[in-house]
């Protein structure tokens, strides 16, 4: 077996050392005996023409010498020895450090002919370092100490001070060596210097590491492998890439794949990087330098290479002037000129450029427009949209200052559609680029991740109509970082900024895009948040809480109970190891596509993940509060990321009281879907709308009548008190009913109007009950304290406080509390207060005051009835009948104005919605309260004799005056 080899020779006074090289180095000794002095040239000429046979453990090899070179020459006379290395060679480390006198390029007078190798080829090794003084400043006298210390290294050629920094505290230096050395020897030198100078010294070397990199030009999108090896074992290995004044630490990502398992017995340290589908980012023509490094102690050994890539443009930016070509007023033979400019980053590459239109390559681009309607030229918000044919979309790359991207607008049926703005905040666009680099593996470190999330927090899009491009970019950043977190281990320090940024993205309704885009964005957002929460490592944190996201963590190995509550949802998972992470999200479920007809999701979505465990069995229980007790059917669902829709597979639902318990055998994002029509009660909505309409008309008529008869019926304090309370009750109920009707379709109302209607209903209903309380208390006072009547000023003052000031305080304090505790004051699906569970939810700021008033008024009604019974003369059946009639009259007259009909509402809360009594109660509640205004008109106006008489008197006077006018006219006619 023969191999083609290169060879180097050493003439050692009768001993010829032959070094044979091919990938691996073979060393053999050739002994030539002679009693005369041998000339090296003679021996070399003999070896060059001789065939050699080399025998190893693998077998014999025939060696053909194609090149030979004199490495060293020795002259031995008796006990005297004189050896020297040839030009380009230097004494090996073994010779230098064993003899201490045979180093560098000097002649050696020791007998070293037995060393193998004796001389070695010079290499270029450079040591770059810095000395940071801990005491005092750097002075020129320290140069001598540095030089003396580094001269202990074989092959030392020189030392330079390259600069001083930080007020002469730090000195940068470089050392030139022509031999590779042991790192331990350099570390000893540095340790001695640090002690002597009272300084910290950091160094890196070049020329010590062997790098294998592709030769020649790489194909665009090819996958090269670059490998670095080092003969010694080291503490750490890594890669960096530098370009355009940037330096990135490489880590495994979508482009970068690192391998540290390539060490061998000869090369104890090894690292390799595979670049998947390289582009211009990695090309040397863009000043990109790839560097590997091995660290041992304070020394880092490096090697660098520049890749040559056959480039294609990564980005092509096209501009058109004018934006559209209008041929509508041109003759068929005329042409118009449209200038299309394609721009790429500056490069020395030469490209073949082709143009296509509708997939067909051509030299000229012709756009037929005949027979198609056009949109006229229009200027909107400073942007000019030229006359364009129907069904064409015009791109305008003019963005306002501080933004990059484009705007587009489609002409449809001769009418311009809304502008779609894809102009992104410049800072946010930079963060997108940084995240993309991170995902590729460029600068994929914890510090860079923290910077990215901090920038995202400060520049996140809000999701308003004019800000949708920023929101889209923000979600893209989350998605990129979620992908990168699968390769790079992120620590919990990124959580605060990540959670804050993700929460702020949900503060709006995302109304600036159509549903299909919104569904895609929300699904992407959910998968990104879930992926990041799962992959980010948790050490000591218990969780994080923001307005729209709440995270809780648990380590079963450290805690006996891993049950957690997030936004009122109880989560329990049967795990004994790993890290359990639960996150609840508000304001997201309504943005996801709902594939279950006649159902609506609750406002919360809960995602639970488990990391750092090999246990694959899952048994999770989630306890959701029922946000709307009116719903009957509650269904546990999870978000299927494959189909992007809700699914019930693997989940069981059970309703317990006002909560829904979900039992599932897998992990993902969970929610509860509620039936829109849980109870099919005929004509319930019709009764409500008709009753409210009748009530509004009745209350308006009552207020008009009261204004007409006021002076006639208010003759005493008692009548003044009664009619004042009735007018205010009617006014509040009238405005409350109007607000109720205005919010019967919450889906078409904006968030602002929905909040406004909720506040108005809350205030006016409380105001109505406040005046009802005043009326009942006044009546009881008059019955009990007959000889101590209320004074007018006292009643009006106290009634105004109870009827208006107290409702204002209740509504205002409730709104402020829920705003600053970052809880929901109102339900966007109903435009009414929220109810989560007992004593939880803003609904209690209505139920509790109303309950107090209703039961106080019930007590007042009982007092009135008891007083009537005691005052009656029990002298037979006639008296009993009169008493019964009086009691019935009291009940009928006082029930509407005391709000007693609202007792049915409290009964509804206590009944099971499936019981027959519930149907009766809900009908009773709807009829009595929707027609409450009509009952007030009847009992407060028509049933009162004085009011009735005054109304009749007014009507009769109008009729009488009309009749008198008629008689006068007739008499005058007869006189003629």
Omega before residue 117 within 30° of 0, cis? yes
Check whether 702 has a pLDDT greater than 50. Answer: yes
Confidence of residue 662 (pLDDT cuts 50, 70, 90): very high
- Residue 658 makes CB contacts below 8 A (sequence gap 6+) with 625, 626, 629, 837, 838
Distance CA 720, CA 882 (A): 28
Confidence of residue 367 (pLDDT cuts 50, 70, 90): very low
Structural Rg of the chain based on CA atoms: 46
Q: For the segment 505-535, what is each residue's pLDDT rounded down to a tens digit?
A: 998 888 778 788 889 999 999 999 999 999 9
Whole-number pLDDT of residue 400: 82
Omega before residue 322 within 30° of 0, cis? yes
Confidence of residue 496 (pLDDT cuts 50, 70, 90): very high
| Region of 956 on the Ramachandran plot (φ > 0 left; ψ -120 to 50 alpha; else beta) | alpha
Q: What average pLDDT does this structure show over 561-573? A: 88
Q: For the segment 817-854, what is each residue's pLDDT rounded down to a tens digit?
A: 988 887 889 988 889 998 766 677 888 999 999 999 99
Position with higher pLDDT, 44 vs 115: 115
Check whether 891 has a pLDDT greater than 70. Answer: no
N- to C-terminal Cα distance for the chain?
154
Whole-number pLDDT of residue 872: 58
Whole-number pLDDT of residue 656: 83
Sign of the Cα torsion 796, 798, 799, 803 reads: positive
Q: Is 709 helix (H, G, I), strand (E, B) or coil?
A: helix
Position with higher pLDDT, 618 vs 505: 505
Lowest mean pLDDT among 52-61, 159-168, 657-666: 52-61
Q: For the segment 56-71, what is each residue's pLDDT rounded down to a tens digit?
A: 676 777 777 767 777 8
Position with higher pLDDT, 322 vs 152: 152
Position with higher pLDDT, 694 vs 418: 694
Whole-number pLDDT of residue 974: 46
Residue whose pair of structure tokens reads 């009948």 in the numeric block: 881
Q: What average pLDDT does this structure show over 166-195? A: 94
Whole-number pLDDT of residue 427: 92
Q: For the segment 215-252, what is each residue's pLDDT rounded down to a tens digit?
A: 888 888 899 999 999 999 999 999 999 877 788 899 99
Long-range Cβ contacts of 912-919 (<8 Å, 24+ apart): 913/629, 913/632, 913/678, 913/679, 914/632, 919/679, 919/681
Q: What is the mean pLDDT of the chain?
A: 82
Across the strands, what pairs with 47?
Answer: none
Whole-number pLDDT of residue 229: 96
Position with higher pLDDT, 879 vs 604: 604
Angle between helix 792-800 and helix 751-784 axes, rounded to 10 deg:
150
Q: Is 11 helix (H, G, I), strand (E, B) or coil?
A: strand
Check whether 17 has a pLDDT greater than 50. Answer: no
Whole-number pLDDT of residue 964: 57
């Amino acid at each position: 077996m023969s191999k083609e080899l290169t060879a180097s020779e050493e003439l050692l006074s009768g001993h010829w050392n032959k070094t044979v090289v091919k990938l691996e180095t073979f060393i053999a000794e050739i002994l030539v005996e002679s009693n005369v002095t041998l000339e090296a040239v003679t021996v070399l000429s003999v070896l060059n023409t001789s065939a050699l046979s080399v025998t190893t453990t693998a077998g014999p090899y025939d060696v053909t010498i194609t090149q030979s070179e004199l490495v060293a020459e020795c002259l031995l006379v008796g006990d005297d020895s004189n050896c020297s290395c040839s030009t380009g060679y230097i004494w090996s480390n073994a010779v230098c450090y064993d003899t201490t006198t045979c180093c560098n390029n000097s002649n050696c007078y020791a007998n070293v002919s037995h060393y193998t190798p004796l001389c070695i080829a010079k290499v270029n090794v450079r040591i770059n370092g810095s000395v940071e003084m801990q005491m005092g400043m750097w002075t020129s006298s320290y140069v001598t100490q540095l030089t003396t210390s580094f001269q202990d290294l074989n092959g030392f050629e020189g030392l330079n001070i390259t600069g001083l920094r930080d007020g002469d505290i730090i000195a940068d230096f470089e050392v030139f060596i022509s031999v590779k050395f042991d790192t331990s020897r350099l570390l000893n030198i540095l340790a001695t210097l640090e002690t002597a100078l009272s300084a910290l010294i950091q160094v890196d070397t070049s020329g010590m590491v062997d790098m294998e990199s592709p030769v020649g030009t790489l194909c665009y999108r090819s996958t090269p492998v670059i490998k670095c090896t080092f003969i010694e074992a080291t503490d750490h290995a890594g890669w960096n890439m530098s370009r355009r004044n940037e330096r990135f630490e490489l880590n495994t990502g979508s482009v970068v794949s690192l391998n540290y398992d390539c060490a061998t017995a000869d090369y104890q340290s090894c690292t390799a990087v595979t670049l998947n589908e390289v582009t211009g980012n990695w090309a040397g023509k863009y000043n990109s330098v790839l560097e590997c490094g091995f660290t041992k102690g304070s020394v880092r050994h490096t090697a660098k290479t520049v890749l040559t890539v056959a480039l294609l443009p990564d980005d092509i930016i096209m501009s058109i002037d004018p934006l559209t070509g209008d041929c509508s007023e041109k003759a068929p033979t005329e042409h118009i000129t449209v200038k299309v400019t394609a721009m790429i980053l500056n490069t020395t590459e030469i490209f073949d450029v082709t143009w296509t239109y509708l997939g067909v390559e051509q030299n000229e681009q012709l756009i037929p427009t005949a027979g198609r309607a056009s949109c006229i030229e229009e200027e909107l918000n400073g942007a000019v949209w030229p006359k364009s044919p129907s069904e064409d979309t015009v791109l305008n790359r003019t963005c306002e200052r501080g933004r990059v991207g484009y705007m587009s607008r489609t002409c449809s049926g001769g009418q311009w559609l809304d502008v779609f703005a894809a102009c992104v905040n410049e800072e946010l666009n930079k963060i997108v680029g940084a995240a993309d680099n991170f995902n590729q593996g460029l600068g994929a470190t914890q510090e860079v991740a923290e910077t990215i999330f901090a920038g995202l927090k400060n520049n996140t899009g809000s999701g308003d109509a004019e800000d949708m491009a920023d929101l889209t970019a923000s979600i893209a950043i989350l998605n990129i970082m979620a992908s990168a977190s699968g390769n790079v281990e992120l620590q919990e320090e990124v959580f605060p900024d990540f959670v804050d940024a993700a929460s702020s993205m949900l503060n709006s309704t995302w109304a600036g895009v159509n549903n299909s885009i919104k569904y895609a964005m929300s699904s992407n957002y959910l998968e990104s948040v879930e992926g990041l929460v799962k992959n980010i490592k948790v050490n000591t944190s218990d969780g994080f809480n923001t307005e729209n996201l709440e995270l809780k963590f648990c380590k079963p190995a450290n805690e006996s109970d891993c049950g957690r509550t997030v936004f009122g949802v109880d989560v329990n998972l049967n795990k004994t190891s790993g890290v359990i992470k639960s996150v609840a999200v508000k304001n997201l479920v309504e943005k996801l596509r709902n594939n279950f007809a006649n159902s609506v999701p609750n406002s919360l979505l809960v995602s639970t993940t488990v990391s750092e465990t090999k246990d694959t069995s899952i048994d999770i229980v989630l306890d959701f509060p029922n946000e709307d007790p009116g719903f009957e059917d509650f269904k546990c669902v999870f978000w299927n990321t494959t189909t992007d829709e809700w699914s019930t597979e693997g989940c069981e639902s059970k309703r317990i009281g006002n909560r829904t318990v979900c039992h599932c055998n897998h992990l993902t994002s969970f929610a509860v879907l509620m039936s829109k029509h849980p109870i099919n009660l005929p004509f319930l909505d019709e009764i409500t709308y008709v009753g409210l309409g009748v009530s509004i008309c009745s209350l308006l008529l009552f207020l008009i009548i009261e204004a007409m008869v006021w002076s006639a019926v208010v003759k005493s304090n008692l009548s003044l008190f009664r009619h004042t309370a009735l007018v205010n009750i009617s006014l509040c109920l009238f405005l409350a009913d109007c607000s109720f009707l205005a919010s019967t379709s919450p889906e078409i109302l904006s968030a602002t109007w929905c909040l406004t209607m909720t506040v108005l209903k809350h205030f006016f209903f409380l105001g109505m009950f406040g005046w009802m309380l005043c009326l009942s208390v006044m009546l009881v006072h008059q019955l009990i304290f007959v000889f101590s009547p209320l004074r007018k000023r006292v009643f009006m003052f106290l009634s105004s406080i109870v009827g208006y000031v107290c409702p204002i305080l209740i509504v205002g304090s409730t709104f402020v509390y829920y705003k600053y505790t970052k809880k929901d004051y109102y339900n966007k699906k109903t435009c009414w207060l929220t109810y989560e569970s007992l004593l939880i939810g803003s609904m209690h700021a209505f139920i509790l005051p109303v309950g107090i008033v209703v039961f106080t008024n019930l007590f007042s009604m009982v007092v009135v009835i008891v007083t009537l019974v005691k005052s009656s003369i029990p002298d037979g059946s006639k008296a009993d009948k009169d008493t019964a009639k009086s009691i019935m009259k009291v009940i009928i007259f006082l029930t509407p104005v005391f709000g007693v009909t609202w007792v049915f509402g409290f009964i509804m809360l206590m009944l099971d919605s499936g019981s027959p009594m519930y149907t009766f109660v809900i009908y009773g509640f709807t009829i009595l309260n929707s027609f409450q205004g009509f009952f007030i008109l009847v009992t407060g106006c028509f049933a009162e004799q004085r009011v009735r008489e005054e109304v009749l008197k007014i009507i009769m006077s109008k009729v009488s005056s009309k009749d008198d006018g008629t008689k006068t006219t007739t008499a005058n006619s007869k006189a003629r």
